[in-house]
Amino acid sequence: MVNAAKSKISSAELGTLWMTYQVESLMDVFIKRFSYDTDDNKAKRILDNYIKENEKLLSEIRKIFNKEKAVIPQAFSDKDIFKDAPSLFDYIFHIMFLRIMMRISLGVSAIHFSMSYRNDVREFYKNAIKILQDTYGTCTDYLTEQGVLAKPPYMTMPKEVEFIEEKKYMSGVQLFGNKRALNTIEIAFLFQILEVNVFGMQLMTGFAQVAKEKEVREYFIKGKELAKKIVSNMNSIILQSDIQPPSTWAGKATDSVIPPFSDKIMMYCTNIMASSALGNNALGMSFSMRSDLPAKLAVISKDTLDLAREGGKLMIKHKWLEEPPQMEDRNMLIQTK
């Protein structure tokens, strides 16, 4: 029987580690710059601690790639930072950014763990998930203490178990044609979509202010307008159930127009956000028991997918999109014989 630790790395494991390296190197660049810009001591400690732990993860991936004689991805580096530029976001936004990215990475890393067979790769993702969990918790606690973290609405606790008795529950229509109130599961996913897009508006605003390429700047403006549209739609759905949409004005872009980051890394960050948004929308659709919600989320998903595709084409045009490891093209090998 082949020892799993000594077996060759699988294509799935190689692919997930490659993806992880891209994201973690991006995070290394962003958080180092945010730490440099942060003037709040507690926020800086949170950022610096993450940098230290993240560098361990990057080092571990490089070890695995070197062991397998696989080329290490180019990904992102100090070349994507312009240290002389003023701060683009305030320190509250720095922690909000880290928290949102930890939430995205937690879900992806759990999937990557379930796709891993070799013990060292599974151990890597176990350690990564622990770091992501701890950092997410620290960021959440910090923002809560600062009083700037918008939370989902509270409700009266249920007093007894109830069962769905009418098909109208699924249609979402009650007596006199009114929509039934949202249930807690639906609110949970709608709030996540709302929170990410409020954050996305500020992120795209900052990116649009400093992007060097005109078409890249226009792309970020499109992203900002889409986020605003989604926020408006989510607020409307929530208000229909007489629920006050949560909001916060904390965490925003400054008035700087000098880029602290390259267009390349800002585009890739936007691609990560769009991919995550598609996943959030899909989960929201699958767990919604009111038939009008999946239809509305499907429209949002199409708009998000269109934006992601446009971004992908733009990155390819500028040679910013690194190609993942490819399986052997057997037909090509046969033809060149």
pLDDT digits (tens, 9 = 90+) for 114-128: 999 999 999 999 999
> For the residues of 133-199, what is the DSSP string, one character each?
HHHHHHHHHHHHHHT----PPP-PPP-S------THHHHTB-GGGPBPPPPHHHHHHHHHHHHHHHH
* Tokens linked to 151: 């939370």
Per-residue model confidence (pLDDT) at position 257: 97
The count of C-alpha atoms lying within 13 angstroms of the C-alpha of 204, restricted to the half-sphere facing its C-beta, is 25
**pLDDT tens sequence across 21-56:** 999 999 999 999 999 999 999 999 999 999 999 999
Percent of the chain, pLDDT > 90? 76
Cα separation, 25 vs 273, whole angstroms: 16
For 278-295, the pLDDT digits (tens) are 999 999 899 888 888 999
Domain shared by 311 and 188, yes or no: yes
pLDDT at 314 over 90: yes
CA atoms of 75 and 99, how far apart (whole Å): 22
Task: Give the chain's domain count.
Answer: 2
pLDDT of residue 292: 86
Q: Is residue 175 part of a domain?
A: yes
Tokens of 67: 């062991």
Query: Would 208 be classed as within a structural domain?
Result: yes
Q: Highest mean pLDDT: which of 1-5, 45-49, 82-86, 273-277?
A: 45-49
Q: What is the mean pLDDT of the chain?
A: 91
Question: How far are the Cα atoms of 165, 243, 258, 282 from residue 76, in angstroms, in the given order?
Answer: 55, 42, 20, 29
CATH code, 54: 1.20.1260.10
Note the residue count of the chain. Answer: 337
Q: How far, in Å, CA of 208 to CA of 217, rounded?
A: 5
Is 211 among the domain residues? yes
Give the pair of three-digit tokens for residue 131.
């770091």
Q: Are 267 and 314 in contact (CB under 8 A)?
A: yes
Range of the domain at 20: 11-146
pLDDT tier, 176 (very low <50, low <70, confident <90, very high otherwise): very low
If asked whether residues 218 and 79 sit together in one domain, one would say no
237-275 pLDDT, tens per residue? 988 888 877 766 668 899 999 999 999 999 999 999 999
Q: Does residue 334 register a pLDDT over 90? A: no
**174 lies in the same domain as 305:** yes
Q: Kindly state whether residues 211 and 278 are assigned to the same domain.
A: yes
187 and 141 share one domain: no
In a domain, residue 331? The reply is: no
The arithmetic mean of pLDDT across residues 171-180, rounded, is: 56
The position carrying tokens 């950014």 is: 97
Helices within the chain (DSSP H only) = 11-37, 41-67, 91-114, 119-146, 168-171, 184-210, 214-240, 263-287, 292-317, 330-335
